[in-house]
């Protein structure tokens, strides 16, 4: 079968950093081999650097970003606990559902899709919630929510942030913002294949955890033992060895480039993309000031079949872009520019291909 090579400019996965892809084919190591354990430890150190945190409880959860979401909720929220969830897109909705299944009393603080949450609304939604949960980068709409402002006003509550599409793309500062729990995924800005969910938990969150979470697999007390770093290392489940080696390599690339440089590269690509799309006469959904550089929502012009355009970009140019989601399926495209994909050359290629396909 022919090997297809795509420029992945959808909502995810993005193209992995080549070093991360190469690590996937490294010879297998046993999950308790000291050489692997050293890689695991260093992966957690690298995660702390990328999250900008000193949290000892920082680890890759085995599973995609949604496993990180489940792990965060199941360990912090038990039956009857009040959770305020900021909802202005698909992933805020998913947080509500995950919290509800854990028996939480969910209080929604909403903004329309395509608009940012107002931190004051989120903070005013309930007088004494246990947890306030917010999506930092809403991949369904391309909106950035102000996690720092929510955390600044949290009072006694714990702040839980979804950073799946923000980590290693735009600034995320767990300790500086005083966020208590956050999770991400490997396949968005982190620039690794899908399969792991980097998670970090503050000591404050740890002290208020659910004693016996409903999930055994995602019980951070048990998972933490396998990762080590805070006490003796014990077998819990078999580490996804190849994925962890790949994450280790991907984070190495990010840290070698430098976080500031990685953010600047994403910001510059986003700027070029937003400008270029508007020069083609296309309208962006999200107002300037709240747009994510790594995920751009573009309104489909009248009379254009959005799915045909996507198919042509894929067939003729090997570029993948995403469709809209939920109620906006046929009304927009979602263009990702994340991780290794976030290069000016890819932006130029997409803009030229789109101009050609649209006849502009
Ligand atoms: C992609 C994404 C998720 C879910 O991650 P999966 O890897 O698909 O499980 C959660 N939240 C946000 C904001 C995302 O973009």
- Reported as a single tens digit per residue, the pLDDT across 345-355 is 999 999 999 99
In this predicted structure, what is the pLDDT of residue 180?
Answer: 98
Average pLDDT over residues 26-43: 95
Please give the CATH number for the structural domain made up of 15-257.
3.40.640.10
Assess contact for 222 and 75: CB atoms under 8 A: no
- Reported as a single tens digit per residue, the pLDDT across 89-146 is 999 999 999 999 999 999 999 999 999 999 999 999 999 999 999 999 999 999 999 9
In this predicted structure, what is the pLDDT of residue 326?
Answer: 85
Question: What span, in angstroms and rounded, lies between the C-alpha atoms of 242 and 115?
Answer: 39
The first and second tokens of residue 72, run together, are: 């965060």
Task: Identify any residues that bridge with 84 across adjacent strands, giving them in sequence order.
Answer: 107, 132
CA distances from 103 to 79, 98, 130, 326 (A): 4, 9, 13, 25
Ligand 1 probe mutation, 165, 325, 338, most atoms within 8 A of CB: 165
**What is the number of other CB atoms lying within 10 angstroms of the CB of residue 358?**
14
Q: Which ligand 1 atom is nearest residue 139's CA?
A: 15
In this predicted structure, what is the pLDDT of residue 31?
Answer: 92
pLDDT at position 230 over 60: no
- Reported as a single tens digit per residue, the pLDDT across 166-211 is 999 999 999 999 999 999 999 999 999 999 999 999 999 999 999 9
Q: Which helix (H) or strand (E) holds 59?
A: strand 57-62
In this predicted structure, what is the pLDDT of residue 229?
Answer: 59
Task: Look at residue 198 and give its three-state secondary structure.
Answer: strand
- Minimal CA–CA distance to 136: which of 111, 109, 110, 171? 171
pLDDT at position 3 over 80: no
Q: Which helix (H) or strand (E) holds 336?
A: strand 332-336
- Reported as a single tens digit per residue, the pLDDT across 187-196 is 999 999 999 9
- Reported as a single tens digit per residue, the pLDDT across 248-292 is 999 999 999 999 999 999 999 999 999 999 999 999 999 999 999
- What would be the CATH architecture of the domain defined by 258-358? Alpha-Beta Complex (3.90)
In this predicted structure, what is the pLDDT of residue 224?
Answer: 77
In this predicted structure, what is the pLDDT of residue 223?
Answer: 86
- Reported as a single tens digit per residue, the pLDDT across 40-54 is 999 999 999 999 999
Write the residue with the smallest CA distance to atom 3 of ligand 1.
Answer: 65
Ligand 1 midpoint to CA 66 (Å): 6
Write the residue with the smallest CA distance to atom 6 of ligand 1.
Answer: 65
In this predicted structure, what is the pLDDT of residue 253?
Answer: 98
Average pLDDT over residues 215-225: 90
DSSP letter assigned to residue 64:
-
- Reported as a single tens digit per residue, the pLDDT across 310-357 is 999 999 999 999 999 988 889 999 999 999 999 999 999 999 999 999
Assess contact for 82 and 160: CB atoms under 8 A: no
Question: What span, in angstroms and rounded, lies between the C-alpha atoms of 295 and 10?
Answer: 8
Q: Which ligand 1 atom is nearest residue 138's CA?
A: 13
Q: Which ligand 1 atom is nearest residue 194's CA?
A: 7
The side-by-side arrangement of strands in the sheet containing 319-323 is: 7-9, 319-323, 332-336, 295-299
The DSSP code sequence of 120-181 is HHHHHS-SS-SEEEEESEETTTTEEP-HHHHHHT-TTSEEEEE-TTTTTTS---HHHHT-SE
Can you say whether residue 287 is alpha, beta or left, with left for phi > 0 and alpha for psi between -120 and 50 degrees?
A: beta
**What is the number of other CB atoms lying within 10 angstroms of the CB of residue 117?**
26
Under the banding of pLDDT at 50, 70 and 90, the label for residue 74 is very high
pLDDT at position 1 over 80: no
Ligand 1 midpoint to CA 1 (Å): 30
Q: What share of the chain is helix, strand, coil (3-state, %, to 5)?
A: 40, 15, 40
In this predicted structure, what is the pLDDT of residue 328?
Answer: 84
In this predicted structure, what is the pLDDT of residue 225?
Answer: 76
Ligand 1 midpoint to CA 342 (Å): 19
Question: What span, in angstroms and rounded, lies between the C-alpha atoms of 148 and 252?
Answer: 26
pLDDT at position 226 over 90: no
Ligand 1 midpoint to CA 116 (Å): 18
Half-sphere exposure of 5 (CA within 13 A, CB side): 4
Write the residue with the smallest CA distance to atom 14 of ligand 1.
Answer: 164
In this predicted structure, what is the pLDDT of residue 264?
Answer: 98
- Minimal CA–CA distance to 336: which of 297, 304, 308, 300? 297
* Domain spans in the chain, listed from the N-terminal domain onward: 15-257, 258-358
Ligand 1 midpoint to CA 286 (Å): 20
Which amino acids bring their CB within 6 angstroms of ligand 1? 12, 64-66, 69, 91, 135, 137, 139, 162, 164-165, 185, 194
Look over the chain and give the mean of its residue pLDDT values, rounded to a whole number: 96
In this predicted structure, what is the pLDDT of residue 215?
Answer: 96
In this predicted structure, what is the pLDDT of residue 231?
Answer: 59
Write the residue with the smallest CA distance to atom 5 of ligand 1.
Answer: 65
Question: What span, in angstroms and rounded, lies between the C-alpha atoms of 290 and 239?
Answer: 38
Q: Which ligand 1 atom is nearest residue 12's CA?
A: 1
């Amino acid at each position: 079968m022919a090997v297809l090579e795509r420029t992945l400019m959808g909502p995810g996965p993005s193209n992995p950093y080549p070093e991360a892809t190469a690590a996937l084919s490294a010879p297998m190591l046993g999950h308790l081999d000291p050489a692997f354990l050293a890689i695991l430890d260093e992966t957690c150190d690298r995660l702390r650097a990328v999250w900008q945190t000193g949290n000892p409880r920082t680890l890759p959860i085995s599973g995609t970003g949604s496993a990180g979401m489940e792990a965060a909720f199941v360990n912090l929220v038990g039956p009857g606990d009040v959770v305020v969830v900021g909802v202005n897109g698909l992933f805020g909705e998913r947080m509500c559902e995950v919290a509800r299944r854990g028996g939480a009393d969910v209080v929604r603080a909403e903004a329309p899709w395509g608009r940012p949450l107002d931190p004051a609304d989120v903070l005013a939604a309930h007088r004494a919630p246990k947890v306030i949960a917010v999506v930092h980068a809403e991949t369904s709409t391309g909106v950035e929510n102000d996690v720092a402002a929510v955390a600044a006003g949290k009072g006694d509550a714990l702040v839980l942030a979804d950073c799946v599409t923000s980590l290693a793309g735009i600034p995320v500062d767990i300790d500086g913002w005083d966020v208590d729990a956050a999770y991400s995924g490997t396949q968005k800005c982190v620039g690794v294949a899908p399969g792991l969910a980097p998670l970090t938990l503050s000591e404050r969150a740890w002290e208020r955890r659910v004693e016996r979470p409903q999930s055994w697999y995602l019980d951070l007390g048990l998972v933490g033992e396998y990762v080590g770093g805070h006490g003796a290392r014990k077998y819990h489940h078999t580490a996804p060895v190849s994925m962890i080696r790949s994450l280790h390599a991907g984070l190495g690339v990010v840290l070698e480039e430098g976080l500031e440089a990685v953010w600047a590269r994403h910001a510059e690509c986003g700027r070029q993309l937003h400008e270029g799309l508007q020069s083609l006469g296309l309208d962006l959904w999200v107002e300037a000031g709240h747009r994510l550089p790594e995920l751009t929502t573009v309104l489909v012009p009248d009379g254009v079949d959005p799915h045909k355009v996507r198919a042509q970009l894929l067939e003729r140019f090997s570029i993948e872009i995403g469709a809209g989601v939920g109620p906006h399926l046929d009304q927009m495209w979602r263009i990702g520019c994340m991780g290794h994909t976030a290069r000016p050359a890819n932006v130029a290629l997409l803009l030229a291909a789109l101009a050609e396909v649209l006849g502009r």
